[in-house]
Structure 1
Amino acid sequence: MPAEWSPHKRTWMMWPCRAEVWDDMDVTRANYVDVAHAIRQFEPLTMVVHPRDRAQAHAMLGSDIELLEHPIDDSWARDAGPNFLIDAQGNKAGSCFSFNAWGGKYDPYDGDDSVGAAILEAAGVPAYSSSLIAEGGGISVDGDGTVLTTETCFPNANRNPDWSREAITEELKQMLGAEKVIWLPGNELEDETDGHVDGIAMFMAPGVVLIEGAGRADNDWYEKKLANLEFMRGQTDAKGREIRLVEVPDAMDAPDDHDMFCESYVNSYLCNGGVVMPQYGIREDGLVAEVYQELFPGRRVVQVPIPSIAIGGGGIHCITQQEPL
Structure 2
Amino acid sequence: METHHIRLTASEIGGLWANYVADSMFVCVYKYYLAKVEDNEIKKVLEHALDLSQQHMQVVKKIFKEEGHAIPLGFTEDDVNLDAPRLFSDEFFLFYTKQMTKGALVTYGTILPHTFRKDIREHFMSCMSSTMELFNETTDLLLSKGLEVRSPYIPYLEEVDMVEKQHFLAGWWGKQRPLTAAEITHLYSNIQTNFMGIAVITGFAQVAKLEDIKSYFKRGKEISKKQVQIFVKYLRDEDLPSPTTWDAEVQVTTESPFSDKLMLYQISMMTAAGMGNYGTAIAASPRRDIAVDYVRLQGEIGLYAEDGLNLQIKHAWLERPPHAADRDQLMK
- Normalising to structure 1: TM-score of the pair? 0.30
Q: Which has the higher helix share?
A: 2
Greater radius of gyration (CA): 2
- Normalising to structure 2: TM-score of the pair? 0.30
Q: Which has the higher strand share?
A: 1
